[in-house]
Structures are given as C-alpha cells and as structure tokens.
Structure 1
Amino acid sequence: MPNHPEYPIYRSNEMLNEEFPFKIEIRTPSAMNRVLHAHEHLQLCYLMSGSCLHWAVGRQFVLTKGDLFSIPPFQEHRLEPREDMDFVMIQVDFMPQAVNENFRDIAHMQTFLDFAYIRPLLSEADLMPKMTLPAATQSIVETVLESLLAEWREREEGYRLAIKAELLKLLVIAGRQYKRFTQTQSQNERQKVALHREAFYEAIDYMQSHYDEDLHLDEVAARALMAPSYFSNMLKLVKGKSYIELLSAIRVQASMELLADTDLTITEIATRVGYNHISHFNRTFKRHTGITPGDYRKHQA
C-alpha cells in the first residue's frame, strides 16, 4: 500500500479524468496489465467468460466466469493468463467523487465497504478476495456492465448521469451479494473483517477526541490497522475528506465553538485546538469558513 520501489503506483490524475474520474475497459489476454502495480482509485472487475489468474496480497487466485472482485487503492496486483485459456474481463475504475454525493450513502453501507475496501486487504488463506455470483445475479451484473460500456463509448448527452446511476446500481448489487456471501463464512472469517472495520472507525473517533494533540497520520493509521496512504484514502471515501482535511475540519469546528462561547484569545484557542502557529490557524480557519477567526467572533456577538 505505501510507495514501494519494486512496483509502480498509478495516481488517479494519471489514469482518470479529474472532472469525471471514471472509466470502463475490456481486458483480454492480449489487452491486460501483467506488471505488478497498484493505483490510487478503486477497481471493480467481473469475469464475463473464461478464466485467468489474479495475483494479489502476495498470493495467486484462479478467476472464472461469474467472479466479481475488487482491487482497493494501493493494493499491489497483476493479471496473468492461464495456459491455453481465453478470458474476457470488464474492469471498472473510479474514484468516489465520480458519483458525487450519491456515494455518501454507499460509503456507509457496511457490506459494500467490507467487500470493496476491507476484505481484499486480508491475506489469510481462508479469505478469498472475490465473490462467485449466482447465475441470476450474473445476468443482472452483465446487463449493468453492458449499459456502462455503451454509455462510456457513445458519450451522448447525459452520459455521466446515466453512468452514475448504473454504477450505483452495481455497487448496491455488490453490497447485497456480499451480505449473502458472508452467511457462508465462518465466524472467525467474519470477525477478521469486523475487526479491521471497527479499528478504522475507532481511529476516526480518536481523531475527534484527540484533535488538540500533535497527531500524525502514521500514528492514527496504525490504530486503523492500515497503511497511511490507504487510511487517508478510506477517509476520503467515508468522510469525504483526506486525513489532513478531516483533522483540519475537526479543529476548525472546535475553534468555532470556543470563539462563540468563551473569552479566550484567538491565540489561546489556536493552541487549544492543536495549532502551534497562529498564522497557520488563521489560514486554515479562513479556508474552511471563508472568514477570519476575528470576523467570526464579531458575527457571534
């Protein structure tokens, strides 16, 4: 997940359009990335036909028709064809903002979060980073993917709205299917996924209760059982903000309450909410609110 010299990490602004960070492609043995790599965005893949090999979390997995799997941000992986076997795979790449605020509801759907962002990170032998969809669900998913492909290729007026709608449908299907899938898991498997999910939310709670301290991304990410870059990306998904953005927002909110309810000086308030330099506090406050701390206090009088 962090930057490793042995494989490239593709940034979202290199791979996707910043204004609409989405794309969908067809992968075959002649059109695939066999180099070990990682990327900043989320990738959902579905095997339409055939079979291939997927290397992830340091292990090799056999994929067959009907398999749906996710590749979360910063996870190293690569595809490899199986001898004398063809395959067709649909690959969907996107950042959460591709579906704008609609993604906020999906981000809080526990089953989708577990399937797409948490479970693939667990490398234990009994946790396969994929789901084999039942026949009826395969038909639905394939229809959604075909619609996404058509909208992406033709790009007629309104295609972005159409893609957002179909993408949301795909994510909901994945979340619902994972909920059914977990019923076949052992209690031990479910506990492993739940442990990582709970650690993530506990790290957020820690930020909200210790914002006045000298917090560092590495320290908070360790509490979340995640690499720093991955933790910050998860925050962007769930909270709509990176680590720095979220911490700043928490501190500014606390300072607003102190400005309105106390007679503390602005310098004292800056220190209380975790800023060592008044100039940094003033810049951050204005960036979040549009006005200076002094002006905010005047408006509360």
Structure 2
Amino acid sequence: MQSFPIYPYKDMLDEDFPFKIEVRSPAYMNHALHAHEHLQLCYMLSGSCLHWVGEQSYILMKGDLISIPPCQEHRLEVRDSMDYVMIQVDFMPHAINESLRDLSQMQTFLDFAYIRPLIAKDNLIPKMSLNPPAQSSVEAVLNTILAEWEEQEEGFRLAIKAELLKLLVIIGRQFTRFALLQDQHEQHQVLLHRKALFQAISYMEKNFSEDLRLEDIASIALMSPSYFSYMLKLMKGKTYIELLTELRVQKAIELLRNSDLTVTEIALQVGYNHISHFNRTFKKFTHLTPGYFRKHHI
C-alpha cells in the first residue's frame, strides 16, 4: 500500500511554463519520502548527503548528478551532520516541447534520446559521478539557467529551453559513457567469478531433483544469495528459480518422451513432491499438460 504522497506537477509548477530551478540546502529541502509527477534533476555543488530511492540509499557528493523520474519515491537525508548545497531543476516535458504535454503517450517522450536515460525506470541509475570537465560544463549551464530564471528578462523562457536542452544533451552523453563503464565493470565481475559460478551452475544441473535452496547454491559460489542471484542473471539471463525450473522441466520432457514412467513418477524424479505443482509448472513452461504432451509426443 502506498505510504508516501505524490505531488501533482500543477501544484508545484506554473502550467504555462512548467519549469523551476532552485538552490537547495538542508534547511530548505523536503526530507520526507515523496514522489512527484514532474521530472527532477539534482546536481551536488558541495557537501554530502544520502539519497534514498525506495528502501535503498546512496551517498551523494560534489559533482554527483541524480535524475528522478515521475512517480519515483525518494527522499534526501543529512549525512553525518554534513551540510550540502544542491541545484534542483524541476520540469515537465512540455516545458521543452508542447508535443510532449500528454505523458500518457510515454513512447513519444521516450523517443527523445537525450531524455530517455532520465525517465526509463528499467535503466535508472542511482547517480552519475561527473568528471571535472563535465562538472564545469554542467555548472556553467546551470548558472546560466539560474540567472535567466532570476532576472526573467524578455525571452527568458526561450533561453531556458535552449539551455535545458543543452543540459540534457550533456547528461545524455555522460550517461552513455557511464553505462559503458558499468558494462565493463560487470564484465570484469563475470570474469572474476566465472569459475565459481560455473561450479554452482554445474551443481544445479546435476542435482536439480534435490531440494535445492538458493542459500546453499550461493555458498558453493562463495557468494551471498543476493549477489549470486545478480551474477546468475548477468551470466545466464535467468533468475535462480527460472533456471532450476527450466532444468527440471527439460528433464521431465525427456522422460515423457523416452520412458514408461507415470507422470507422478516423473514429477518425483525431477524434484516435485506434489503432482499438482508439477502439472502447473509444466503447463506454465510448455503451455501443455504433461499428459497431453506425452500423448502427442510434442
């Protein structure tokens, strides 16, 4: 059950130009868990704080940039009594382009390649630590936007749109480089643990009919269950349960085709103590019941 407020963008931003930029500090920040309909970019100018996304926290420091997609629960927390200064940019897509006013047409919005990394939850990263040149570029753009927002001279909205697009292009390029480094790190981790992973997977392939527990298999790989699950997904593209189920069902298919064992005997042989559980799992995997599969030798 949702236990945090989701703020409508119309309560926080002007409808004609749904954009806002502010310099924030601990005394001027919402530290309660919340979400909002608009997009938010936060850049750390100095100091340090904790950023909570759901139940996971991340340390933010000078040069870090975070993006908050619509309706993503989050909050900030002062870290070790440290102060911080952050520039916060709030905006709706149609502040950039009127054609993006309808957020229900999300695919149209996603077509903007330079915004996509910021709002795609599947690819959401907790933060980007910008290198010094990127920090200088981002800070220069943010300072220009701040000046335009504060002075609001004629044409300030157009100037902000141009600078906001420039900011998003910089961030998009940094995201591409960051994602590449993440991929390289993950590949290194796979190579580092490849032998232990293969030992654990080999054990599963030989003993899938036993009452296997994730904790026991993870210990073979000398990993915690959560880290083993992460690495298994990275290596095999399947979760622990998906891989175990696949091994069992594949063996059941072989026995249904090439043996005279009853369906109940096959269920027990591949690790299912209850025939109803075996039937449900087999049908979910093959879209057929074991009996139908055997009868038609599919």
Structures share a fold, TM > 0.5? yes
Kindly state the Cα deviation for residue 72 of structure 1 after the two structures are TM-superposed.
Answer: 0.3
Establish whether residue 61 from structure 1 lines up as the match of residue 58 from structure 2. Answer: yes
Q: What corresponds to 1:227 in structure 2?
A: none
Residue pairs, 1:19-38, within 5 angstroms:
19-38=16-35
Kindly state the Cα deviation for residue 187 of structure 1 after the two structures are TM-superposed.
Answer: 7.2
* CA shift digits 1:229-259 (9 cap, x unpaired): xxxxxxxxxxxxxxxxxxxxxxxxxxxxxxx
Residue pairs, 1:10-21, within 5 angstroms:
10-21=7-18
- TM-score, normalization: structure 2? 0.56
Q: What corresponds to 1:213 in structure 2?
A: none
Choose which of 162, 165, 174 in structure 1 pairs with 2:162: 165
- TM-score, normalization: structure 1? 0.56
Establish whether residue 117 from structure 1 lines up as the match of residue 119 from structure 2. Answer: yes
What secondary structure sits across from 1:185 in the alignment? helix
Structure whose CA Rg is larger: 2
- Structure 2 CA distance, aligned partners of 1:74 and 1:33? 16
Kindly state the Cα deviation for residue 78 of structure 1 after the two structures are TM-superposed.
Answer: 0.6
Kindly state the Cα deviation for residue 178 of structure 1 after the two structures are TM-superposed.
Answer: 0.6
* Aligned 8 A contact 1:109 1:175 in 2: no
One-letter amino acid matched to 1:108: D
Residue pairs, 1:116-135, within 5 angstroms:
116-119=118-121, 128-135=125-132
Distance 1:69-1:59 versus aligned 2 partners, 3 A rule: same
Runs of 5+ consecutive residues of structure 2 not aligned to the other structure: 102-107, 188-298
Q: What corresponds to 1:6 in structure 2?
A: 3
Establish whether residue 181 from structure 1 lines up as the match of residue 178 from structure 2. Answer: yes
What secondary structure sits across from 2:115 in the alignment? helix
One-letter amino acid matched to 2:25: T
Runs of 5+ consecutive residues of structure 1 not aligned to the other structure: 191-301
* Aligned 8 A contact 1:8 1:37 in 2: yes
* Aligned 8 A contact 2:114 2:168 in 1: no
Distance 1:33-1:189 versus aligned 2 partners, 3 A rule: farther
Choose which of 95, 98, 122 in structure 2 pairs with 1:98: 95
One-letter amino acid matched to 2:129: T
Q: What corresponds to 1:108 in structure 2?
A: 111
User: How many aligned residue pairs are there?
Assistant: 181
* Superposition RMSD in Å: 2.5
What secondary structure sits across from 2:146 in the alignment? helix
Kindly state the Cα deviation for residue 49 of structure 1 after the two structures are TM-superposed.
Answer: 0.8
**Which structure has more RCO (C-alpha within 8 Å, separation ≥ 6)?**
1
Establish whether residue 74 from structure 1 lines up as the match of residue 76 from structure 2. Answer: no
